Chain A
């Protein structure tokens, strides 16, 4: 199951004060808090782990067709390794373990589950069109017959002439950025 999350780091700095009393304690386990606070760049670690939890949440919600819920501590980040603008790790949710990959730049973090075949990151709003163009080319079908719909849990799906194409994908918007993660195999 697929999930992704994008964070505009300039915007999140204005929106959230992660150093606020109680903030880390509500979102992160004690082990995660130690990982954040013992690092050289705690701010980046806060948003990296947060994006991992969000990506895994989307994958879980899709897998079990769950209604929305808000309990970030049930998603536990482990084995986080960071190297040259990339990070990998796992997020555990009860019996499920999701492999997660992230890339980060000074202005943004994009995180997706490891079954992502490709992802598209845009600095403007045209990523929807780019996604549809890419799928049209891959599947050799006309662009104008493709569309994106949402089910009642708010999970998006791709349609071809109104029929669900069963191509798992996840989308995320934040500030100046939007991103799609797509898995062309049926996983």
Chain B
């Protein structure tokens, strides 16, 4: 799976939790879930659970701790897929 496919997949996952839809227009690795997309902090866990389901990986608490941007999520997914 290449970078773009992973980013598209993250975008699809985060869209229903995005309160600031303009944030989706310029969706890239710098996009911050809370600042740019205004995802509610309780919904971040839904993003994580959806990512786990979609990629069939498990995101431990230490990885979750630094998952603030789309790029952070992409790096975690790639790392987990590589070690699977």
> Is there a chain B Cβ closer than 8 Å to A185's Cβ?
no
Which of A16, A26, A68 sits near B64, CB closer than 8 Å? A26
> Is there a chain B Cβ closer than 8 Å to A79's Cβ?
no
Main secondary structure on B side of the interface with A: helix
B64 and A70 form a contact (CB under 8 A): yes
A16 and B42 form a contact (CB under 8 A): yes
The answer to whether residues A70 and B42 also contact, given A20-B49, A23-B49, A26-B49 and a CB cut-off of 8 A, is no
CB-defined contacts of A72 to chain B, threshold 8 Å: 45
Residue of A nearest to B45 (CB): A26
Q: How far is the CA of A73 from the CA of B63 in the complex (A)?
A: 13
Q: How far is the CA of A116 from the CA of B61 in the complex (A)?
A: 30
Residue total for B at the interface (Cβ-Cβ under 8 A): 20
Q: How far is the CA of A133 from the CA of B46 in the complex (A)?
A: 39
B43 and A54 form a contact (CB under 8 A): no
CB-defined contacts of B35 to chain A, threshold 8 Å: 154
B65 and A70 form a contact (CB under 8 A): yes
Least Cβ distance of A145 to chain B in Å? 29
B interface residue numbers (CB < 8 A to A) = 17, 34-35, 40-46, 48-49, 52, 61-62, 64-68
Report, nearest first, the 8 A-B pairs whose CB atoms are least far apart: A71-B65, A26-B45, A22-B49, A69-B65, A16-B42, A15-B40, A71-B61, A73-B61
